[in-house]
Amino acid sequence: MSNKPLNAQPVSDEQQVTYFIADLHLAQNRPDVTACFLRFLKHDAVKAQSLYILGDLFEAWIGDDDDSAYLATIAKALRTLSSFGTEIYYIHGNRDFLLGKKFAQKSAMTLLPEVELIDLYGQAVVIMHGDTLCTRDIAYQKFRLKSRSWWWQALIKSLPLFVRKKIAADYRAKSAAATATKSQDIMDVTPEEVVNCLENYQSQLLIHGHTHRPAIHELTANGINAKRVVLGDWYEQGAWLKVTPNTMELLNTPLT
């Protein structure tokens, strides 16, 4: 269950901090978000035991063969964070599900399955991006099923880089248009799906992103009290969840 190595050295009290982030949607045309993220890595995450990135770190991902200077900067910053002792774990989102082992290795990130059960200071916690919980968004779930298939991904990756860039841009435009016409209810999680997830993993705490609605929700699962923590997006501020052995806080900071 735990992602921590069994032979790990004891961690000092000062390092008993774990951060969770999601939905940064990093892109070259948002230097304010990028700068905020780099500050977070340098001043906050560097003091932590672990950093979990729960999807949509990037606005789009067209393949690990994109060797732009921008992506190299992000990879270098993450690798630098890792060199200081912070373990970095990554779960794919709906925008960057094509991110592969090559970029993960460049960034010193450990790729995790789309749903993972971790040991967080003695508590069994389910972590995920969160898009699979939005079962009422039928059109998206159909696309998700197709886009996660091996044949679809193989087809996309076989296309020239410039073609993939155009496809990604077109998809973002269509996604924005579709989102504008969907009700808030459809784009939020299905409550029954949340309970099913917690009960399937015998957990009382779920942490996810995707919906861009940061909050800590109380619910009942496995017949007792449970919590669902939703991470904030980085469109208008930096946002993260800070967890210690005794506290859990949703925090944010101005982009500039």
pLDDT per residue over 6-47, tens digit each? Answer: 333 444 555 699 999 999 999 999 999 999 999 999 999 999
CB-CB contact of 81 with 45 (8 Å): yes
| 3-state percent breakdown (helix, strand, coil) of the chain, nearest 5 | 40, 25, 40
* Residue 9 domain-assigned (yes or no): no
* Residue 76 domain-assigned (yes or no): yes
pLDDT per residue over 150-175, tens digit each? Answer: 999 999 999 999 899 898 888 878 77
For residue 170, the model assigns a pLDDT of 85
pTM: 0.91
For residue 102, the model assigns a pLDDT of 96
For residue 5, is pLDDT > 60?
no
* Residue 126 domain-assigned (yes or no): yes
The domain that holds 101 is classified in CATH as 3.60.21.10
For residue 17, the model assigns a pLDDT of 97
| Strand order across the 237-243 sheet | 109-111, 87-90, 50-53, 18-21, 237-243, 248-254
Residue 43 belongs to domain spanning? 16-254
> Of 41, 189, 51, 40, nearest to 118 (Cα)?
51
Number of domain units in the chain: 1
* Residue 6 domain-assigned (yes or no): no
* Residue 10 domain-assigned (yes or no): no
CA distance 152 to 164: 13
CA distance 124 to 119: 5
For residue 180, the model assigns a pLDDT of 67
* Residue 34 domain-assigned (yes or no): yes
pLDDT per residue over 127-151, tens digit each? Answer: 999 999 999 999 999 999 999 999 9
Q: What angle do CA 16, 236, 140 make, to 5 degrees?
A: 90
For residue 245, the model assigns a pLDDT of 95
Residue identified by tokens 């669902």 is 228
For residue 3, is pLDDT > 70?
no
* Residue 8 domain-assigned (yes or no): no
* Residue 7 domain-assigned (yes or no): no
Tokens describing residue 148 = 């996660």
